[in-house]
A and B are shown apart, each in its own frame.
Chain A
Amino acid sequence: MEAVALILAALLTGALVLFVARPFLRDAETPDERLEDADPAAAERLALLEERDRALAALKELEFDHRTGKVSDDDYRELVGPLRREAAHALRALESKEAGKGEPVRTNVRS
């Protein structure tokens, strides 16, 4: 039984080592070592996109809450303006970034 166990252990070790070494064996010819998304510009764009989506989702939620009656007409009028400005600001910041105008990236785009 011990011999069987040893053979099994050896086979297992071999298989596991091969599996672990697979990335090196597979890409041996054309090694590309770059880790993706190390680009700070991509991270900035992502932050702006998050701001945009957050602002748009907040607007959508406010509309729905108003429709359900959870948000009164007065509260709605008070809240919707700043939210629209936030969304517009986020969109403008993204556009200027895309156009390469170099507007400073802000993590919070409230105006």
Chain B
Amino acid sequence: MPELGRAALVAALGLILYAVVAGGYAALRGRRRLLDSAANALVAAFAAAGIASLVLFAALAARDFSFEYVARSTSRELPMGYTLAAFWSGQAGSLLLWLLVLTGSASAAIALNRGLVRDVLPWAVPILGAVAAFFAILLVFVASPFATQAAPADGAGMNPSLQNPYMMIHPPMLYLGYVGLTVPFAFAMAALASKRTDERWIVATRRWTLAAWTFLGFGILLGAKWAYEEVGWGGWYAWDPVENAALMPWLVATAFLHSVMVQEKKNMLRVWNVVLVAGAFGLSLFGTFLTRSGVINSIHSFTQGPIGLWFLGFIAVVVAASTALILARMSHLRSRTRLESLVSREAAFLYNNLFLVAFALTVLWGVVYPLVSEAVRGVAVTVGAPYYDFFAVVFGLPVVLLMGIGPLVAWRRASLRSLGASLLWPAGIALAAGSALLVWGAGSSPAGLVGYTFGAFVLAAIVLEFARGTRARKGLEKGGWLAAFTSLVARNRRRYGGYVVHASIVLLLIGAIGIGGFSTTREARLAPGESLAVGGYRVELLGADERRGANAQELRANLAVYRGDERVGTIAAGKNRYLAEEQTSNEVAIRTDWLRGEDLFVIGDRFFENGSVYLKVFVNPLVNLIWLAGFVFVAGALVAMWPDAREQRRLAGRLAIARA
């Protein structure tokens, strides 16, 4: 069936090019039927990309090694789940996933916004089509997943690091995030092209932006969980360039989600918002480029290929075109509203934007500098964790502090006296928490202590906001406390969903500081019967054994775990030697104490002939709050993006009057 796959991709490309040309002509000349036809072409391209995807899935499921892609990414012994996940583990498959998700998102965004932004859509269709065309061209001419060969007896298998359940969902999450950012970008540019720069493009794409941002954020955390378990160095985030590739657009999208509220409330930051949208999209393309071009020497960049220059060229076109369009429409974006006070909600959003964007640019420089250095000076350099850690503290801590201050400040302006009164309780609680932690010995990590104090401040501010809001609603409406609380959240889902997201960031902060600042580690060579004490645990080597797994030889050190004198469990750490791939991977042992939120984390580093094993043992306090933060983050995001019938009615009414 490779012919069907190739035909579907060619059809998708033809349809997308038609959408670009017909949509562009329709927008310029005002042709309604041609525009509808161009929009239909994007839907048809989604169907064609869907058929191509089904063909690839079928080839993977049948382990049809006459497909070069299948032979390169899988083997006969690879479990079926990972075999199907090979769809996005390689370059061509992930490009196909981009195209599928993009054409699907574009079709849905156009269909759902016909009522709200009918006058913006004529330009949104060709812009969405132009982005899709880039990926379709790559798939047809540069990196086809349907290239064939004489089928070998077995495939080369999958990189062992990718054989992890989290890797089955982490890449699609990131792609949903990357691709999702195309929609707000396309609508923002379409609003500029059509000179309709009112707030409708923001309203139309708000949920798309939130959803893309949520997928990206959750995807980053899934990747961190994968790295924690699979890469096995005892940490959770290594500032790897490809990890950073997803972090940068997430940071810029975070800034946008805040600054867009200033535009909605005060009609300010209009230029800044389109710059942020274009920046987030450009960085999502850059992220795909980093992952898929092989330009970065990273544990994550699994593919090498000729598409790097294509990506760089496309990114350059996107940056140039968006910059030109923003400059050309500057007069439509200027606002006469000014910042009234440096002590106001909008000012807090502005500060948070500056820190977030500064951090994103710092990370970008850390990623790009080695490339520039190698290209210009011929010297390969590495930007290590200390660089990122320093700026994470410098820019991250003020952002955390602002998460607490921002919600307590009124829009427009607040007197210092009023602000002081609002901050009194959260600041008092934070200082009490910080002092208590200092007494308990948390002063060994000053940045960690400050982080925890700021975290306590944010949590106290959030609780205060919910409490005061519920009390005020109870005074306004009949019913009990629960009804008042429900009404409070329902009336401003974005605000209160946002507070839940802020709480998740605090959880993540607590977990990250826990593992980064307060973990304990020891390593030693143990003979059977010997033990190693670390962080309140004692680990005893019972013995080592080797067994045959589904597609690997599994070497394991069996360990008894004691807490005090009580034996609390048995774990096994070791290595897998993958047969088809001829590679070895660390398989760490993790014992989680859910009540403490901590992990006992063991790496079986070296195995010796006499049965002894060299072990690295970590006790990672509070690390599980990082994973819990992921769920709280998604819950908050869902509250924030839940459809608001009241707002829909208001918008519909406003449009009806305007068009009357």
Grouping DSSP codes into helix (H, G, I), strand (E, B) and loop, the B interface class, with mixed when no group exceeds half, is: helix
Kindly state the separation between the CA atoms of A96 and B78 in the bound complex, as whole angstroms.
73
Interface residue A22 (Cβ < 8 Å from any Cβ of B): yes
Stretch at the interface among B289-297, B467-475, B562-570: B467-475
Kindly state the separation between the CA atoms of A12 and B50 in the bound complex, as whole angstroms.
12
Whole-angstrom distance between the Cβ of A36 and the nearest chain B Cβ: 5
From B41, B43, B418, contact of A72 by CB (8 A): B418
Whether the pair B418, A16 counts as a contact (CB closer than 8 A) is no
Name A1-17 residues within 8 Å CB distance of B.
1-2, 5-6, 8-9, 12-13, 16
Residues on the A chain within 8 Å of B4, using CB: 5, 8-9
From B122, B422, B654, contact of A50 by CB (8 A): B654
Whether the pair A9, B35 counts as a contact (CB closer than 8 A) is no
Residues on the B chain within 8 Å of A75, using CB: 410, 413-415, 418
Whether the pair B1, A37 counts as a contact (CB closer than 8 A) is no
Whether the pair B44, A19 counts as a contact (CB closer than 8 A) is yes
Interface size, chain B (Cβ < 8 Å): 62
Interface residue B215 (Cβ < 8 Å from any Cβ of A): no
Whole-angstrom distance between the Cβ of A45 and the nearest chain B Cβ: 4
Residues on the A chain within 8 Å of B30, using CB: 33-35, 38
Residues on the A chain within 8 Å of B548, using CB: none
Whole-angstrom distance between the Cβ of A19 and the nearest chain B Cβ: 5
Residues on the B chain within 8 Å of A45, using CB: 657-658
Whether the pair B657, A79 counts as a contact (CB closer than 8 A) is no
Interface residue B606 (Cβ < 8 Å from any Cβ of A): no
Whether the pair A9, B37 counts as a contact (CB closer than 8 A) is no
* Also in contact, A79 and B337, with CB within 8 A (given A46-B655, A54-B267, A57-B265): no
Interface residue B374 (Cβ < 8 Å from any Cβ of A): no
Binding site for A on B (CB under 8 A): 1, 3-4, 7-8, 11, 15, 18, 26, 30-37, 40-41, 43-44, 47-48, 51, 118-119, 122, 196, 198-200, 264-267, 335-337, 408-415, 417-418, 421-422, 468-469, 471-472, 475-476, 650, 654-655, 657-659
Residues on the A chain within 8 Å of B336, using CB: 107-108, 110
Kindly state the separation between the CA atoms of A72 and B410 in the bound complex, as whole angstroms.
10
Residues on the A chain within 8 Å of B44, using CB: 16, 19-20
Residues on the A chain within 8 Å of B413, using CB: 75, 79
Nearest residue, chain A, Cβ from B12: A16
Kindly state the separation between the CA atoms of A47 and B4 in the bound complex, as whole angstroms.
50
Interface residue A88 (Cβ < 8 Å from any Cβ of B): no
Whether the pair A16, B410 counts as a contact (CB closer than 8 A) is no
Whether the pair A107, B265 counts as a contact (CB closer than 8 A) is no
Residues on the A chain within 8 Å of B119, using CB: 35-38, 43
* Interface 0/1 of A62-102, CB less than 8 Å to B: 10110111111011000100000000000000000000000
Whether the pair A110, B337 counts as a contact (CB closer than 8 A) is yes
Residues on the A chain within 8 Å of B650, using CB: 53
Kindly state the separation between the CA atoms of A69 and B467 in the bound complex, as whole angstroms.
11
* Also in contact, A58 and B41, with CB within 8 A (given A1-B1, A34-B32): no
From A24, A31, A36, A61, contact of B118 by CB (8 A): A36
The 6 closest A-B pairs by CB, nearest first: A37-B119, A23-B36, A9-B7, A46-B658, A72-B418, A68-B468
Whole-angstrom distance between the Cβ of A61 and the nearest chain B Cβ: 7
From B37, B47, B265, contact of A54 by CB (8 A): B265
* Also in contact, A35 and B265, with CB within 8 A (given A13-B11, A49-B654, A68-B472): no
From B3, B35, B414, B468, contact of A2 by CB (8 A): B3
Whole-angstrom distance between the Cβ of B476 and the nearest chain A Cβ: 8
Q: For A5, A20, A32, A57, which residue has the most chain B Cβ atoms within 10 angstroms? A: A20
Nearest residue, chain A, Cβ from B39: A23
From A35, A37, A50, A67, contact of B659 by CB (8 A): A37
List 19 A–B pairs whose Cβ atoms lie within 8 Å, in order of A's numbering: A5-B1, A6-B3, A9-B4, A9-B7, A12-B47, A13-B7, A20-B40, A23-B33, A23-B37, A35-B118, A37-B119, A42-B658, A46-B658, A57-B265, A68-B469, A68-B472, A70-B410, A79-B413, A108-B336
Whether the pair A58, B48 counts as a contact (CB closer than 8 A) is no
Residues on the B chain within 8 Å of A51, using CB: 267
Whole-angstrom distance between the Cβ of A106 and the nearest chain B Cβ: 8
Whether the pair A108, B267 counts as a contact (CB closer than 8 A) is yes
* Also in contact, A42 and B408, with CB within 8 A (given A8-B4, A9-B7, A16-B44): no
Whole-angstrom distance between the Cβ of B10 and the nearest chain A Cβ: 9
Whether the pair B48, A16 counts as a contact (CB closer than 8 A) is yes
Whole-angstrom distance between the Cβ of B326 and the nearest chain A Cβ: 18
Whole-angstrom distance between the Cβ of B487 and the nearest chain A Cβ: 12
Residues on the A chain within 8 Å of B11, using CB: 9, 12-13, 16
* Also in contact, A33 and B33, with CB within 8 A (given A49-B654, A70-B410): yes
Kindly state the separation between the CA atoms of A75 and B414 in the bound complex, as whole angstroms.
7
Whole-angstrom distance between the Cβ of B408 and the nearest chain A Cβ: 6
Residues on the B chain within 8 Å of A23, using CB: 32-34, 36-37, 40
Whole-angstrom distance between the Cβ of A28 and the nearest chain B Cβ: 9
Whether the pair A72, B421 counts as a contact (CB closer than 8 A) is yes
* Also in contact, A32 and B3, with CB within 8 A (given A13-B11, A20-B40, A79-B413): no
Residues on the A chain within 8 Å of B8, using CB: 9, 12
- Other contacts beyond A12-B11, A69-B422, A72-B417: 16, CB < 8 A: A5-B7, A19-B40, A20-B18, A20-B37, A20-B44, A23-B34, A32-B32, A34-B30, A50-B198, A50-B654, A58-B411, A68-B468, A70-B408, A72-B415, A74-B415, A75-B410
